[in-house]
Amino acid sequence: MSSVGKLMKQAARVQREMETVQNELANRTVEATSGGGAVKVVAKCDNTVDSIKVDPQALNPEEPQLLEDMIVSAVNSALSQAKEISNEEMNKVTSGMNMPGLT
């Protein structure tokens, strides 16, 4: 088999594996908190936010900016964890292959 044929076959295999990993990542979740647990965010490893929980004691109408900051912090942390996991799993599939657009 020619090297181009081998490359095409390998690319098709990698694509199938990537689709499988992407489906698995869509169901895998990470959790992050801020404000000592006052805000909890669950995100999926496909970089979507699944849920946000706020402790009612964190609701202070006189300081809305504090709650907003805690939410942003927890969301960013959860999405960062999700992205790291996603990158690790995708790198396993590509096995260090230098194929632009696959990682």
Q: Determine which of 10-14, 16-20, 77-81 has the lowest per-residue pLDDT on average.
A: 10-14
The per-residue pLDDT for 103 is: 46
The reply to whether 102 falls in a domain is: no
Question: What CATH number is associated with residue 8?
Answer: 3.30.1310.10
The reply to whether 62 falls in a domain is: yes
The reply to whether 75 falls in a domain is: yes
The per-residue pLDDT for 81 is: 97
Question: Which residues, 6+ apart, have CB-to-CB distance to 57 below 8 Å?
Answer: 38
CA distance 55 to 102: 40
Q: Are strands 48-54 and 39-44 parallel, antiparallel or unpaired?
A: antiparallel
The reply to whether 57 falls in a domain is: yes
The reply to whether 56 falls in a domain is: yes
CA atoms within 13 A on the CB side of 1: 8
The per-residue pLDDT for 46 is: 92
User: What is the length of the chain?
Assistant: 103
The per-residue pLDDT for 96 is: 55
Residue 21's domain comprises: 3-94
The reply to whether 103 falls in a domain is: no
Is the pLDDT at 1 greater than 60? The verdict is no
Domains in the chain: how many in total? 1
The reply to whether 100 falls in a domain is: no
Q: Determine which of 17-21, 59-63, 80-84, 90-94 has the lowest per-residue pLDDT on average.
A: 90-94
